Chain A
């Protein structure tokens, strides 16, 4: 059974000041799959993922060329509003980012609330559903009015995932979501990602190669802005075709 292509990246180049951070990337992502992006620090993987929801352009002196097609629609087309794009492509960052001065409940539904057009009971239902999807509901259902920042780091990160899911984007980007967490919290997030693949497409940047091999259907390997290799994870990790990939995953390089 062939899955549909949800995201198509064509000739993507990203610059950051004078730095050419991402070089001519061409990739396709299947619906309801998990793709990991690995590579040494500074290889442009974070910049790359930030191009996919147009958050990279929020940095001063940055620009992007090429196309990124979400379900056939180029998100870099001039008539497209980046705000609209970001509602369809969620993002979770390296550090947990619960919003200050907001309760767990408010944190979960803030994206929808600021879009407007949802009734209170709808918001409550969505909050519950999103927190359940993020495996957080059981832990927070009795303290929804408590401040989001009062949670532990792992819980905060799951709260951020719930917050991204509440907007219901088909595609979720994760930028090293577990690198600030301990192994137990990491395991929970990985379990969660495994669950998410049933409904969502996930692209995750990670430094942890075991993590990539555990959770990802596909893996891309980047070095200094170039895509070196992309393919099924089991192939990349057991039988890489490129010498650089082999050196990296066996720990001889990077």
Chain B
């Protein structure tokens, strides 16, 4: 009787500890969100996301150039890193033995641990100095270096989940190996692969340090890959350390905008991995959403 009582107390204490630590994880995030919203929401207006910055000292103005710059550089970075990352991941999962594969796997793991500022300096030396100019391209390369290892490893892990006998069955149909890999294994896992990619993109979205030395930033709209380009994180950084109150406030709104952008990306990842039925593709997600909305509102 006594021991049972003791066990119940132990159970209670552990449950308490676990709940308490979960709470500690949620608290900083909620404080951060509340803080950001209270500081940034009133500045997050339509003109803020559609207008260019005003000259220093004037009120108003927006950061459309940084928003578009972030999207532009992320697209370019995805364009570089997604094909290479997927192919590298396929190599690791399908031919993942031997010296080359082990080296690749180990380097990818190391790369995830490289501080982003080091990647920034590296890209500066590799691209910016020879080109003699900060550029959107350099920023995209820096970000793609950050995305690559995540994409490679997530692709490898996802493809490895496909059982071996599926591959054998496909080979036994008289399908050449490369077609088995791309049209059966990769295609069969495409939605999960996308989830991994989107998570990599959303991680790169908030990176500041690698962009400071590469894309650098500017105060106007630019779509040239050879010129410096503004991005949200760098713009926030520049505004936040400026002495102007208008800019400091805009840094808060910009930060909120960045968080919203990352949130949207994460929701996309969730939606895509949340099963699309075969033969329907993205249309199916849309239908599912519409069903949800209509069933709630009517």
Contact = CB atoms under 8 A, between A and B. Distances in A.
Interface size range on A against B = 20 to 34
B194 to A, nearest CB: 12
Contacts of A25: none
Nearest to A105: B279
Interface string B170-204: 11111110010001100111110000000000000
A213 B191 CA distance: 46
A110 B278 CA distance: 14
Contact of A97 (B169, B176, B191, B279): B169
B288 interface: no
Contacts of A72: none
Contacts of A145: 278-279
Given A145-B278, A146-B278, A100 B174 contact: no
A34 interface: no
Contacts of B278: 101-103, 106, 145-147
Interface string A195-217: 00000000000000000000000
Interface size range on B against A = 20 to 34
B175 A91 contact: no
A103 B190 CA distance: 14
Given A106-B278, A147-B278, A99 B175 contact: no
A83 interface: yes
Interface in A104-151: 106, 110-111, 114-115, 145-147
B165 A97 contact: yes
Given A97-B165, A101-B278, A103-B279, A58 B171 contact: yes
Nearest to B182: A114
Interface in A46-99: 53, 55, 58, 60, 83-88, 90-91, 93-95, 97, 99
Given A86-B174, A87-B174, A101-B191, A93 B165 contact: yes
Contact of B179 (A58, A103, A114): A114
A160 B172 CA distance: 11
A83 B97 CA distance: 23
B173 A167 contact: yes
B173 A100 contact: no
A115 B173 CA distance: 10
Given A86-B173, A97-B163, A115-B175, 11 more contacts: A58-B171, A86-B174, A90-B172, A90-B173, A97-B166, A99-B170, A110-B170, A110-B183, A114-B179, A114-B183, A167-B174
A230 interface: no
Contacts of A7: none
Contacts of B175: 83, 110-111, 114-115
A163 interface: yes
A90 B174 CA distance: 8
Interface string B263-298: 000000000000001110000000000000000000
A93 B171 contact: no
B190 A101 contact: yes
A101 B187 contact: yes
A147 B187 CA distance: 14
Contacts, number: 84
24 contacts: A55-B171, A83-B174, A86-B172, A87-B174, A90-B173, A91-B169, A93-B165, A93-B169, A93-B172, A97-B165, A97-B166, A97-B168, A99-B169, A101-B190, A102-B278, A106-B278, A106-B279, A110-B175, A111-B175, A114-B173, A114-B175, A145-B278, A147-B277, A147-B278
A236 interface: no
Contacts of A90: 172-173
B168 A160 contact: no
A171 to B, nearest CB: 12
A146 B189 CA distance: 16
A85 B175 CA distance: 10
Contacts of A95: 163, 165
Contacts of B172: 53, 55, 86, 90-91, 93, 164
B242 interface: no
B284 to A, nearest CB: 11
B171 A86 contact: yes
A115 B174 contact: yes
Contacts of B171: 55, 58, 86
Interface in B155-172: 162-163, 165-166, 168-172
Nearest to A104: B278
Contact of A101 (B97, B163, B176, B188): B188
Interface in A184-233: none
A110 B184 contact: yes
A131 B175 CA distance: 20
Contacts of A99: 166, 169-170, 184, 188
A76 B219 CA distance: 69
A-B complex: 8 closest residue pairs judged by Cβ atoms: A87-B174, A97-B169, A101-B188, A111-B173, A91-B172, A86-B174, A100-B188, A103-B278
Nearest to B170: A99
Contacts of B184: 99, 102, 110
